[in-house]
Amino acid sequence: MVAAGKGSRLQSKVPKQYLKIGDHQIVDICINMISSHKFCKYLIVVLDKDYSKYYKFKNTKKNIVFITGGKSRHESVFKAIKVLPKNNFLLLIHDAARPGIDHIIIDKLINSLSKEFSGVVPTLPINDSIIKKDKILSSVKRENLYRIQTPQIFSANVLSLKDFDKNNEATDESEIIIKKNKKVKIIKGNEKLHKITTEWDYKFLMNIFDTQNNIRTGNGFDVHAFTKEPSKLILGGVIIDYQFGLKGHSDADVLLHSITDAILGSISMGDIGTHFPPNESKWKNANSSIFLKKSLKLLKEKNGEINNLDITIICEEPKISTYTKEIQKNLSKLLNIKEEKISLKATTTEGLGFTGRKEGIAVMSNILVNIKS
Ligand code: ZN
């Protein structure tokens, strides 16, 4: 794996392979993906000579070797091949500036290699029109043109060290193989394998990978007992027609409490009692939407947004189904998300336990949030 680039086209002091996506440096994302593949016998990582300013070795697996590269990509690949033990291994070459590498593409490359071909490379068609600037501008047919990506795979010993001397102008190893009149197979690549060259590329990939990596779940469970005297019952901010209300310090909206706990749980920030202690008199009879709004504010501070919410109300009485739509609508307003992102269900415990004895209501909420960085 070549990770020796300087990344001069990126407006960053840190070479692109050492930048972070989520919690991991790009070079580590590639190392982990390649070294965890079942066919990986050795991984030679070629770093630039100043790597120590930006990178500390984290991977101590025996079959991973770090070396410093040469002046060009060719010199770097050349140095890496020299380190490899002489054997009939397949050779996989990858640019560390493409953090989208995964086992699916590695498997596809291995499975596409046959006796007929000396190498397999992932490619994508060119969708933009192409013109050539020479003395005059001329158009070029794009139908037979492809963009080449990495990783690329080569059959054992097809690349010799001499080849690198002869072809030091080639931009990648597949070009060397083609110049040797050997056949290279092209397979469909993946936009995910996009190479980080510009600031835009980095931000684009960061957006894609971050939403994948920072999906978090939270769950909330709350129970309140019914009052003995007739009082107002509020669920999800909606007044429900029932003879009893729920006991509690605040307005006892068990549904909003459970959602609040789910949101706080998704960002590991305690529970409703941490932020609104029940012994504080100012929360007496408080509208529970205050608690919900506070948890939403904390989620927003973490750059999080709700993906979806699934709620189950557990009680024998009252009958919830006639209120489902209204509660959903109110939750959508309070949470500022579309109604379709909120699922609200109700069930009984078949006459068993405290809910079965009509002593109170329990609510369970599960939430999925995306944290963007
Ligand atoms: Zn509660």
pLDDT recorded at residue 8? 63
Taking only the tens place, the pLDDT of each residue in 242-269 is 999 999 989 999 999 999 999 999 999 9
Non-local CB neighbours of 212 within 8 Å, separated by 6+ positions: none
With CA atoms as reference, report the closest residue to 370 among 247, 263, 258: 263
Mean pLDDT of 309-332: 97
Q: Ligand 1 centre and the CA of 277: distance in Å?
A: 11
User: d(Cα 153, Cα 70) in Å, to the nearest integer?
Assistant: 22
Structural domains in the chain plus CATH codes: 2-211 (3.90.550.10), 213-372 (3.30.1330.50)
Note whether 46 and 67 are within 8 A (CB): yes
Mean pLDDT of 194-215: 83
**pTM for this model (two decimals):** 0.63
pLDDT band at residue 290, thresholds of 50, 70 and 90? very high
Taking only the tens place, the pLDDT of each residue in 43-63 is 999 998 888 888 988 766 778
Q: Ligand 1 centre and the CA of 256: distance in Å?
A: 8
pLDDT recorded at residue 278? 81
Q: Ligand 1 centre and the CA of 250: distance in Å?
A: 8
CB atoms within 10 A of CB 182: 16
Percent of the chain at pLDDT exceeding 90: 64
User: d(Cα 305, Cα 307) in Å, to the nearest integer?
Assistant: 6
Residue 360 has pLDDT above 70, yes or no: yes
pLDDT recorded at residue 57? 81
pLDDT band at residue 21, thresholds of 50, 70 and 90? confident
pLDDT recorded at residue 211? 60
Q: Ligand 1 centre and the CA of 254: distance in Å?
A: 5
